[in-house]
C-alpha cells in the first residue's frame, strides 16, 4: 500500500489532497495544528488515516509525529510539505516583526522540519517523493506581502538545493508554485485574483505532477506565463507597475 504524509491537512489544498488520496490502497498521515478538524473529516475516508496535531514550526513535535507514523506503517512514499500561512506585513511597524518571524518559520523552516525526519529512511530505501508547496508569489517581491514573498522565494531555493542534493538518491523533489487558490488564506484578499482556482482542481493537477515525477510545477498554466513575464520585467518597470498595487490586509 502507498503511504503518504501531508502537513497543513485541515483546510485548503492540504484537505483537498487528503480527500483525493483517501482510498483503500493508500495509508494517510495527516498533520495539522487543528487536529480535531482533520480527525472529524477523516472519519468519512475509507482507507487508513493517522492524524497528528502539531505546528510545523515546532521541529520536535513534527519529528515525533513523523516517527510515530513510520513506526506504525513504515517509510512513506510521498511527503507533502503543504502547511503555510500568509498575512500582509509592514516593515515599519514593530508589531509586525513577530508576523514576519511566524511566516518565515512556518513557510520555510516548517518545510525543513517536515522533510528531515523522513530523509534518512527514504534515502536508504532509494525511492520516494518530497513535495514542497511554494508559490508564484516568490517569483518577485510583492508590495505589502514582503514576508510571504520572501518565504516563498526561500522555499523555492531550498527545494532546488534539496533536489540537486538528492538527485542520485532515487528521491524526487517537486517544487509546486500555485497561483491563487480559493482557501481561507485568500478569502481575506480584497482585490481581484486572476485565474483563481478551487483547491480540488489544484489537488488533481498536483497529483498528476507527482505521478509524472516532475521537478517543477506551476498551475494554472496562465500563471506560469505570468510568472515567466514577471521575472523578465526590468526593475524600474516592475516598480512603476506594482507600487500602487492593492495590498493584502494585515492581520
Distance CA 72, CA 63 (A): 14
Triad 7, 10, 123: Cα angle to 5°:
15
DSSP strand pairing (49-53 vs 78-81):
unpaired
- 240 Cβ contact list (under 8 Å, min separation 6): none
Distance CA 246, CA 12 (A): 23
Measured N-to-C along each axis, helices 199-211 and 12-21 cross at an angle, to the nearest 10 degrees, of 60
- 112 Cβ contact list (under 8 Å, min separation 6): 158
- E-strand ranges in the chain read 2-7, 26-32, 49-53, 78-81, 128-133, 171-178, 181-182, 197-198, 216-219
Query: Which positions are catalytic?
Result: 148
- 156 Cβ contact list (under 8 Å, min separation 6): 134, 138, 175, 177
Amino acid at each position: 500500500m502507498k503511504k503518504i504524509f501531508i502537513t497543513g491537512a485541515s483546510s485548503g489544498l492540504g484537505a483537498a489532497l487528503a480527500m483525493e488520496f483517501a482510498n483503500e490502497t493508500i495509508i494517510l498521515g495527516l498533520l495539522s495544528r487543528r487536529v480535531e478538524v482533520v480527525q472529524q473529516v477523516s472519519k468519512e475516508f475509507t482507507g487508513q488515516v493517522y492524524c497528528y496535531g502539531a505546528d510545523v514550526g515546532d521541529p520536535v513535535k513534527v519529528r515525533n509525529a513523523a516517527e510515530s507514523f513510520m513506526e506504525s506503517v513504515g517509510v512513506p512514499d510521498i511527503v507533502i510539505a503543504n502547511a503555510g500561512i500568509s498575512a500582509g506585513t509592514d516593515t515599519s511597524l514593530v508589531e509586525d516583526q513577530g508576523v514576519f518571524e511566524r511566516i518565515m518559520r512556518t513557510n520555510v523552516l516548517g518545510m525543513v522540519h517536515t522533510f528531515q525526519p523522513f530523509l534518512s529512511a527514504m534515502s536508504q530505501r532509494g525511492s520516494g517523493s518530497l513535495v514542497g508547496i511554494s508559490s508564484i508569489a516568490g517569483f518577485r517581491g510583492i508590495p505589502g506581502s514582503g514576508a510571504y514573498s520572501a518565504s516563498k522565494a526561500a522555499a523555492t531555493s531550498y527545494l532546488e538545493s534539496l533536489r540537486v542534493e538528492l538527485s542520485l538518491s532515487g528521491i524526487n523533489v517537486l517544487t509546486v508554485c500555485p497561483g491563487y487558490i480559493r482557501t481561507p488564506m485568500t478569502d481575506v484578499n480584497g482585490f481581484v485574483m486572476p485565474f483563481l482556482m478551487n483547491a480540488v482542481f489544484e489537488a488533481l493537477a498536483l497529483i498528476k505532477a507527482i505521478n509524472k515525477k516532475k521537478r517543477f510545477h506551476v498551475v494554472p498554466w496562465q500563471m506560469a506565463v505570468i510568472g515567466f513575464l514577471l521575472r523578465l520585467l526590468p526593475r524600474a518597470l516592475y516598480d512603476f507597475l506594482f507600487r500602487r498595487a492593492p495590498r493584502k490586509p494585515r492581520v
